[in-house]
Amino acid sequence: IDLQKFEELKMDLTCENYSIKMSIDDAISKINFLANQKNIKILNKTNNQINVNIDKNLIERCIINLLTNAVKFSPVNENIIIENEISDNQVKIKITDKGNGIAPKMIDKLFYKYSRSEIKDSGFSVSSGLGLAFTKLVINSHKGEVGVLTELGKGATFWFTLTNISFSPENENIVSISNENATFSSDFLFSIIPLKKELQ
């Protein structure tokens, strides 16, 4: 129903400034029972200073979709890693599993309704094929993008971006920009990233 609402432009966003790390932690807490069945650890390595203006409930559902898929495809006793990259005025969230990867012929179809990849030896039933389509629409509605990097036999990294980030002012820890060979304080990043975008 929600997917149809998005397609018909009838779904309203209720956005607030929220920690992306906390959103991920909340999502992890809701699917940990699945991970525990396969003795999988989900490691959230995202920066706790990064805030984004998001509809928290919808973004959390997207993260749950991606994590559920990662657990389904992961072998037992493996880790799922969640990391972030910061570039310009956006954050990229990456969820990496160590499963069998996705066949090249399936990649272009993944984010469309009722498309699903084959699950072998996962211990779970195949889903409806709506989760990734819903995730794409939600992320796009936040002016972000979603995608996957994968290779057969070497796992997959699903990623999505969110724009208009800010940093928690109360903590002066150092955060890094992934595509530069330097680190800067959160105050500096908060000031310079919007200026850099305008100068470009």
pLDDT-above-70 percentage for the chain? 70
Residue 96 CB partners (closer than 8 Å, separation 6+): 70, 80, 81, 82, 83, 155, 156, 157
Residue 178 has pLDDT above 70, yes or no: no
pTM: 0.74
pLDDT (0 to 100) of residue 185: 57
Question: Each residue of 102-124: pLDDT tens digit?
Answer: 888 888 788 776 555 444 444 43
pLDDT band, residue 6 (cuts 50/70/90)? low
Residue 51 CB partners (closer than 8 Å, separation 6+): 17, 18, 19, 20, 165, 166, 167, 168
Distance CA 64, CA 6 (A): 18
Which value, to the nearest 10 degrees, does the dihedral of the CA atoms of residues 158, 111, 69, 32 take? 80
Question: Each residue of 25-83: pLDDT tens digit?
Answer: 999 999 999 999 999 999 999 998 899 999 999 999 999 999 999 999 899 999 999 99
In this structure, what DSSP letter does residue 84 have? E
pLDDT (0 to 100) of residue 171: 45
Residue 166 CB partners (closer than 8 Å, separation 6+): 17, 50, 51, 52, 190
Residue 2 has pLDDT above 70, yes or no: no
pLDDT (0 to 100) of residue 123: 40
Instruction: Give me 161's structure tokens.
Output: 């971006």
